[in-house]
Structures are given as C-alpha cells and as structure tokens.
A and B are shown apart, each in its own frame.
Chain A
Amino acid sequence: MTVALIVEQILNGLQLGTMLFLMASGLTLVFGVMGLINLAHGSFYMAGAFVTATVTATTGNFWLGLLVGVLAAAAIGVIVEFVIMRRLYDRGHLDQVLATFALILIFSEGTYMIFGSSPLFLSVPQELRGSVSLPFDISYSRYRLAIIGMGVLVAIGLYLLISKTRLGMRIRAGENDREMIGALGVDIKTLYTLVFALGAGLAGLAGSTIGALQSVRVGMGEPVLIMAFVVIVIGGIGSIKGALVGALLVGLVDTLGRIFMPLTLVSFMPASQAMSIGSAVSSMLIYIMMATILAFRPHGLFGSK
C-alpha cells in the first residue's frame, strides 16, 4: 500500500463525491423548498449525458456539447415542473413517488425509442486528456481533477447564490415557511420552476461530465440517484451543507472501501476469498454507514427536525 495509491484513491473518492453532490444538492433543494421527493432526478442526469454526447458528436466541440446538455436538462426540468410536478406539491409522498416513478419509465423508454438501445460514447475533451504530476510522484487524470475543481466551484457558487442573492433569500424563506414566502409577495410558482430547473441543470451537469468517463446509456442515472438518496438521508433532507458533507463521506467511503476492504482481508484469508467477500461487503458499506448514522441522528447530520 503506497502513499501514491492512497492519494489516488482519495482523489477518486472526492471525484465521486463531487458527482454525488451535484445530484444530491438538486434533490435536497427540491425537497427543502417544495416538499417534493423526485425519483426521476436521475433522468435529468441521463438527459444531460445524451444531449452532450449527441451535440459533441455532431459539432466535435465538447464544451458546446456540455453547455447544450446542461441547458437541455434544465429546460426539460422546466417542462416537467410545469406540466406535472406542480400538481404534486400538495399531494402525499406516495403520489409523488408513483408519479415520478412513472416519469422514470417514460424517460427511460422514451430514450430507447429515440436513441436505440446501444450506448453512446463521449470522449474527454482534448485539453483535459492525459494526467498531471502531483507531489510524491503521483500522476492523476487531468479530467478527474478538473471534475473535482468544478465541484468546488459549484459548491461555492451555490453557497453564494443561497446566502447572497435575492433568489437565495427566497429559497431560504421557502425552506423555513412555505406560507410566509407567499405573504412576502414572492411569485411562488416562478420560484418553484427556477429551483426545479436549477436542480435539473446540476443533475445534467453531473451526467454530461461523467458521460465522458463511462458509456452514455439508459439507466445510467439510477445507481447515482440511489447513492444520492443515501447522501441526503445522511446529510439531512433539505440541507445543502448536509448534501456536501454527505456526498464527500459517501464518495470516500465507497471508493476507499472497494479498494482497501479486499486488501485488508487478504491478511486473514486466501486471496480469492478475500476478493469476493471484500467486494461484497464493501458494496454494503455506505448503507451500513447510513443505518449507523440514522440510529443516532434520525434526521441526518444536518437535518432540521
């Protein structure tokens, strides 16, 4: 176990954490402000990736693809909010779960209809290929490092947006008291649409950037979505700070667990057994962490109630 390996895995964990934060912050905002649980959030992730891959393939320009992908995800968010979600804000959680589950089916099958069943490929842009040298003789993927940097920028941006701007003030007011915000004379429908679009756009950004590391296919959003649920349950539903801390925790624990669990077990048992048991147990780690945290804090680390 070298220092280089450990540092590399920590960076991988941070990169996964960044992705999870992009997903979880949208989910938690939508829940905090509108009280809506949205299972179809992974569909925006998928939409961002498909649009980015298509635009990049036709124009040859990744950055244009990325921009169009994020905007498309946000635009789909606006449409979905306008047509369906606003009918669900006053409904119970069961109705929200059902309707958004239905949306997943519609989006997934719709994507199959449009793009067919074979995955699309999106390659890393020229400028970010290769690796950079870090101290301790470590070389690390330039693109992954850029993703981490982007995550930091988004986190700062969200912080500024929520703490410094008028929109952010309204979001905070909406989180505290949905009726008060109406009394303030804020156009609540527009606010909801904006918040939903912001969440969808962030999910689209996550999907577009990850699309260059994995294949772009139907269902790609689902594993990330479920990890994002774990993140916001750990962090406390409705809390952006909780989403950030939870995302980094889950990203690091999952990544490091997958590498180091089998390596640790090798000292106790035969290698093949260590690998299989290690990988099976490490796939459960984040859920065990979630259960443990909930046992002590039923509303998550930064949950309000």
Chain B
Amino acid sequence: MTSLQNRFNPQALAAGLVPQSREHWINVLLVVGLVGAAMLAHFLGERFYVNLASRIAIIAMAAVGLNLALGFGGMVSFGHAAFFGLGGYVAGISAYHAFNMTPVLGIGFMPEGSTQMLSIWLVTLLVSGLLGLVIGKISLGTSGVYFIMITLAFAQMMYYFANSWPAYGGEDGLPIYLRNELPLVDTNHNLTFFFIAAILLLISLWLSQRLMGSRFGAALTMAHLNPVRLATAGIDPRPVKLMAFVISAMIAGLAGALYADLNRFVGTNMLSWHFSGELIVIVILGGVGRLYGPLAGAILFVLMETWLGGVTQYWQFWLGLVLLGVVLFARGGLMGFLAGRSKDV
C-alpha cells in the first residue's frame, strides 16, 4: 500500500465522475452557500466577510489545481506554493513596472508591465505552465518519496530566490498599490472581485470535470491506479502525468495571481512550504479525488483559521490535532463524511 489507493474514492472514478446524487447536491450547496454568504455579507456591509469569501474561492481554486495532480493523478506534490507564488509575483511585478513605467526585469526590450488582469492571467498561465513543465519533468523521473522531496526542494529554491532577490522587495515582499483592472467592471469593488474569483473557481472546477471525464482523464486515472496496466495497453504513463502536472500548475498559478490582487501584496509567504502543506491539507480535509473536495476543504480551513484564530493565537496547534485525527481515523475527509462513505474495496 504505497500509493494513494487507500485514500481514493472508487465510486467517483467508477462512475466516470458523474457525481452521485447526494454528492451532487452537496456540491451545489457548497457553491450556492459561498456565493450567498458573500452577497449577504455585502448587503450587511461586512466587507471583511466579503473578502474572506474571496479568499476561500481563491484558495479553493489553488486546491482544485493541486487536486488534479494529487487526487486524480496520484502525484504527491509538496511544492505547489511555487506555482501559486509565481502567479502572485507575475501580478505584483507587472503592476510594479506599470506603476514605475520601467521595463520588466529591467531589460530594455521588455514591456513596461501591465495593469490589465487579462494579460496578467495570460502571462501567469504561460510561466506557471513552463515552471510546471520543468519541475514535473525532473520530478517525474523519480517516484514515491523522491517525488515529494524534490517538489518540496524546488519550491524552496523559488522561495530562497525570491527572498534574496532585492529587485522585487526580497523578504519584504512587493505591494500592489492599485489593484489590477478588468475591462467594464470595477475590480476595487469587493463583491465584484469576489465574483471574478468565484467565476474563475467555477471555470476551473468545470474544466477539471471535463478533463477527468475525457480520454485524457481515463488515462490519468489509470496512470495513478495502475501504471503497469496503462503501459501494457501501449500508453506511456509519464507524459500523461506530466500533462496533468502542468495543467495543475497553471490553475494554481492563476489562483496565485488573483490572491496577490486580493491582498494588494505579494510576499515570499506565498512561496513557503507551509502553504504547500496547507494546500495538501485542504485537499485531504475535503476528500481526495472528489471534484468539489477542494472547495469543501478550503471553506473548512479558512473558517477554522478565522474562528479558531480569533479564539486562540495558537490555532495551528488545534489544526495539527484535527489533521492528525483525520489522517489516523477519518480517511474519507469532509466530503466522505457529508456525501457518504465510499465503498471500501
């Protein structure tokens, strides 16, 4: 039992990811609940809670990205903060140069940044996909515990690099003085920004669903469950996994770009290994391999952080205990608890 199979949800796979009816209703409830809560908070004038909902949506999106690699592809990446942080720095650096009207990276022929989210997102998808390709290519040459440590090490490399590179704030991070813009809408409006985040989250959820239901998804599922079977059928598992890793990196990167704009700040904490760990925790809390598990996990995690963090400054101590309990005793995660225990096979 060296793989994730014992944490896997066979029913969702066997059904070709057509959600079971109960799970389906819980998925709808999660989305409606989040959107409803944000709207309610807005009309009550509670800006803090609107931003909290945005935070949930963005972190859920990063976790949706990770879930593709970890839950569906069986790749335990302990370095997804690298992509999240990279996306954040793309947004931050772009805004910085647009503000100062200097060329990106100080190189003459580069454009002078941009404050347009659409172009920032495009660049983010490109560079985080490229980084995913490089890290994935090297890491997938190995397996098991090597994969975990190597993804962790590469994310740390990015972290230390950002820390010691003074041009973009080094360890102090980089503020975004004016939130980047979209045509036609006011991104500074809290509820509008929430809807931008929520729509991107829904798109990435929908994308994952299409992807996992497609031929590629079938190959990825088999690459995870039984790579020998896949190879015996004549499909090399490695490029399939690499592709999933790259897509996963792109989604996490895009979430990072949004996160920087939400906070109007990007710092090395977005690249830290704690964040990589938290993303895994969110995916697991939600239930691995469940399409909407990351959303359930993100809601649970951010609410715990907010409520427990308000009660005690040592809330992560309790998070640690809860997590330990989930790992040792409750293996289905929150979605497993809500949507019914999947049949053990």
Contact = CB atoms under 8 A, between A and B. Distances in A.
A98 interface: yes
B133 to A, nearest CB: 13
| Most chain A beta carbons < 10 A, residue from B288, B316, B324, B327 | B327
B317 interface: yes
A276 B327 CA distance: 43
A63 interface: no
A102 B327 contact: yes
B317 A109 contact: yes
A106 B78 CA distance: 19
Given A276-B166, A280-B164, A294-B138, A232 B324 contact: no
Contact of B153 (A87, A99, A105, A229): A229
A222 B161 CA distance: 17
B323 A290 contact: no
Interface in B159-185: 160-161, 163-167
Nearest to A281: B161
Contacts of B31: none
Contacts, number: 134
Interface stretch (B44-52, B140-148, B247-255): B140-148
Nearest to B314: A109
B2 interface: yes
Interface stretch (B108-116, B273-281, B335-343): B273-281
Interface in A194-228: 222, 226
Contacts of B150: 233, 290, 294
Contacts of A288: 157
A39 B161 CA distance: 22
Interface residues of B, number: 48
Nearest to B3: A92
B6 A92 contact: yes
Nearest to B142: A298
B280 A98 contact: yes
Contact of B281 (A98, A232, A300): A98
A158 interface: no
Contacts of B5: 92
Interface string B2-21: 11111100000000000000
Interface string B101-137: 0000000000000000000000000000000000000
Most chain B CB within a 10 A radius of its CB, from A90, A92, A276: A92
Contacts of B281: 98, 101
B145 A98 contact: no
Contacts of B273: 222, 226
Nearest to A236: B146
B284 interface: yes
Contacts of B78: 97
B1 interface: yes
A226 B193 CA distance: 37
Given A92-B1, A92-B3, A283 B163 contact: yes
A5 B7 CA distance: 54
A232 B150 CA distance: 11
A284 interface: yes
B280 A101 contact: yes
Given A97-B78, A101-B277, A237 B323 contact: no
B2 A92 contact: yes
A110 B324 CA distance: 15
24 contacts: A87-B328, A90-B1, A91-B6, A97-B78, A97-B148, A97-B280, A98-B280, A98-B327, A105-B317, A105-B319, A106-B317, A110-B317, A226-B152, A226-B273, A229-B152, A233-B146, A280-B161, A283-B160, A283-B164, A287-B153, A291-B154, A295-B138, A295-B141, A298-B142
Interface of B: 1-7, 70, 76, 78, 138, 141-142, 144-146, 148-150, 152-154, 156-157, 160-161, 163-167, 273, 277, 280-281, 284, 288, 314, 316-317, 319-321, 323-324, 326-328
Question: Which 3 A-B residue pairs are closest in the complex by CB-CB distance?
Answer: A105-B320, A109-B317, A287-B157
